[in-house]
Structure 1
Amino acid sequence: MSQAPETSRRPVVTPMRVVIAVCLLAPFVALMWVGSYAKTDPVLIGIPFFYWYQMLWVPVSALLTVTAYALWRRDQRARAAAKGGAQR
Structure 2
Amino acid sequence: MTRRARPSRIWYLLLVPPTVAPLLTPLYNRLEPTLWGLPFFYWWQLMCAVLSMVLLTVVHLATRERGPAWK
TM over 0.5: yes
Provide TM-score, normalisation by structure 2. 0.73
Asked whether 1:30 is paired with 2:25, we answer: no
Provide TM-score, normalisation by structure 1. 0.60
Counterpart in 2 of 1:17?
Answer: 9
Aligned-pair Cα RMSD in Å: 1.9
Name segments (4+ residues, structure 1) moved above 4 Å. none
Higher RCO, 1 vs 2 (CA within 8 Å, ≥6 residues apart)? 2
- The alignment partner of 1:44 has SS state of coil
Larger radius of gyration: 1
- The alignment partner of 1:39 has SS state of coil
Q: Runs of 5+ in structure 2 lacking a partner?
A: 1-5, 67-71
Structure with more helix by fraction: 1
Aligned residues: 61
